[in-house]
Amino acid sequence: MVRWYLRNWYYASVVVAAVTVAVLAIWWADFGVIQRLMLVQYALINLHFFEEFGFPGGFPMLANKLELHSDKPSHHPLNQASVAFGNNWFAVFVYLPAIIWSECIWMPLGVSLFGFLELGMHSVVFNRMMRHWHNGGLWTSIGMATASVIFLAYGYQGGLIPWLAYIPALSWPVLNYLVVFSWLMGKVWDNPDTKYPFTDTEMSRFGKWTHRAVVIQQAHGVDVNSHTHGPSNGGTIEGAR
**DSSP state string for the chain:** -HHHHHHHHHHHHHHHHHHHHHHHHHTGGGS-HHHHHHHHHHHHHHHHHHHHHTSS--HHHIIIIIIT-BSSTTTSSS-HHHHHHHHHHHIIIIIHHHHHTTTSTHHHHHHHHHHHHHHHIIIIIHHHHHTSS--TTHHHHHHHHHHHHHHHHHHHHTT---GGGHHHHHHHHHHHHIIIIIIIIIIIT--TT-SSPPPHHHHHTTHHHHHHHHHHHHHTT--TT-B--SGGG-----TT-
Domains of the chain by residue range: 2-233
Task: Write down the pTM of the prediction.
Answer: 0.90
Tens of pLDDT, residue by residue over 17-50, are: 999 999 999 999 999 999 999 999 999 999 999 9
220 versus 83: which is more confidently predicted? 83
- Give the residue with greater pLDDT, 209 vs 66: 66
Q: 89 pLDDT exceeds 70? A: yes
pLDDT at 207 over 80: no
- pLDDT, one tens digit per residue, over 139-189 is 999 999 999 999 999 999 999 999 999 999 999 999 999 999 888 888 899
